[in-house]
Structure 1
Amino acid sequence: MREFTEQLRRLVERSGLSVGAVADRTGYSKTSWERYLGGRLLPPLGAAEALAEATGTDVVHLSTMWELAERAWSRSELRHDSTVESARIARARAALGEFGPPQGAPQAASQAARAGGQPGAVISEPLCHEAARRAAAAEESPAAGPAGTAGPVGPAVAPEPSGQAPRPPVPGSPQPPDYRANAIPADGPAPRRRAALFVTGVVGALLVVAAAVLLLGVGDGTGGDSGSVQPLASPSAVLPAGVKCTGAECSGKDPEAMGCGGGRATTAGSATVGTSYVEVRYSQVCGAAWARITQAAPGDAVRIDAAADGAAPARTESGRVVRDADGYTPMVAVSGPGKAKACATLTSGSKGCTVARAPSAPAG
């Protein structure tokens, strides 16, 4: 990561461009480039390729270095996640240790010591005998009923030798639960429960039929094949990697955060207002446009106006330059690059709007 960041700095220094000029030529904001060049954030591949084209550098070489830096960044994140997970496990173990050792642990430890260091043989043997005794008692118990009959289930009690009284339970020992309270009657579930099960089955069948009709379609009524399957469009399947919205979904959202800027945008209109440069940035893949102003001063305002398009009403989004010399507005959904214009109002009093032009090549 350090080597890749230093390479980016050298490219900018050799080109003689300022950070604002680099932002203007690549389509990424000045704030983003300050983070990229400072090593605080890994730039996207589109930003690295745009910088290579703006400075006349071999794009393939810089893309290779970006891939190596991206792998290093991913490994660093994995190590950080592993460290956090280890700390959580350590805290959980420390919290569990406050409850002390389980009851009966000293006796088990002493038995294990007498058994020659094999605690498994001492502890598991009584448990196996107890399980075998309970299984034998369950088979001999008349409450189990004939094979295949769902009779009441009770606790398994081992028979005592004849002539001896039943052994009292050992205090503190776990007692088998009594399942007879929850046992199903021999004649099956109650009528109300049967009715509920029937209604549930009918509703489930109707849901399955409705889903099949929606997936397969019911035909268009024009005599065509009503059984033909129409594929369902999936927005995530047609959008490129990194693009997070399209059309109306992009309205009011940040173009850089949604992956619509950089190399995926073109300049659909521009104008010079005072000493500032105003543009209409249009992204075909996102179906949206936004206004961008560069070489501006803090307090300068910029606005994007989208004309009414069919049933869609006119829309407007505004932005203002806060600290840097550039700024941009949120996006508005448009059907084409000529459907929007950008206007700027400078603190010096100058005003102006863009003039539509043919879309330029993607920003590099």
Structure 2
Amino acid sequence: MGRWQPLRSDLPAEVVRLVRELRQYVDRCELNTETVAAKTGYSRSSWLRYLNGRRLPPWPAVAGLGRLAQADAEYLRVLWESAAHAWTPTGQTGGTGPATALRRPAVRAADPATSVTSVTGPAPEGKRRPRSKPTGPRAGVLSAVAAVCSLLAAILLARPWDTGADAGRPPDGVPAGAPGWPWPLRSAVDGAAAACRSAGCRGLDPYRERCDRDSVAVHRLRAYGRVLTLRYSPTCLASWAEVETPAGTVGLRITTNRGDEQVAARGGAYTAMVGSGPDAARATVVVAGHQLGVARYDSWIDAVTGSV
């Protein structure tokens, strides 16, 4: 839809994957942030931050959007958990970036009023001049900084995330059967590439086969409060029909010029796939006594007489 802002270059790759996936869900469902907010229970301002990479969305918000898009919940949970592992508090508060939180602790310049007292000139004969000590709050600041640096050094040297202690064990809360951390992440194209292709997709669910992940809307028709869409996956080489707000519809189907046809159940939101490109397919649905139809370069509305 061309409305998304470019993501910050310092966002971790795992966060970028999650945000792009969520943006695709919003586009696929033709939603706006007000609708997403109303249907998920999270405010519009929160979704603007989530979808622009300024804050990590909580899992319930991600799951809610996934349900609207009929997404694979387990796959989505894997994306979210990996993004959560890569996220840092700096990214949540809109600082300089998630990756900078452990790079350099901020240390203020010394305040002349509380800096170490300088001593000049030789000590009196036979006496050792005592070492000067930090005064007042400065001593506390230096101690705190030293403690933080020591802790960070210990963490970086130990690298607990590389010890393999958590290998094979998913973090708490992931779905049963999820692989252990670190999870192999798949891009949208990778997900589609692992699915069926062409004639092998005939009669299969486009979302279960993940052919939707690179799909495009070939043509849309809006009428009678519905949106009929002819969709095509370049990776799966297959097409299917969809209708938004499927309640009250009947006869949602996709047909090809070779006689192949797939019909959704009454009130269904989408059909199974046909192994055909968009040039040879057309989608139709009946609503309010009219048949809506779309092909690649055409659309129509016809009155329906008799039963469908």
Using structure 1 for the length normalisation, give the TM-score: 0.35
Larger radius of gyration: 1
Using structure 2 for the length normalisation, give the TM-score: 0.40
- Name the structure where helix makes up a greater proportion of residues: 1
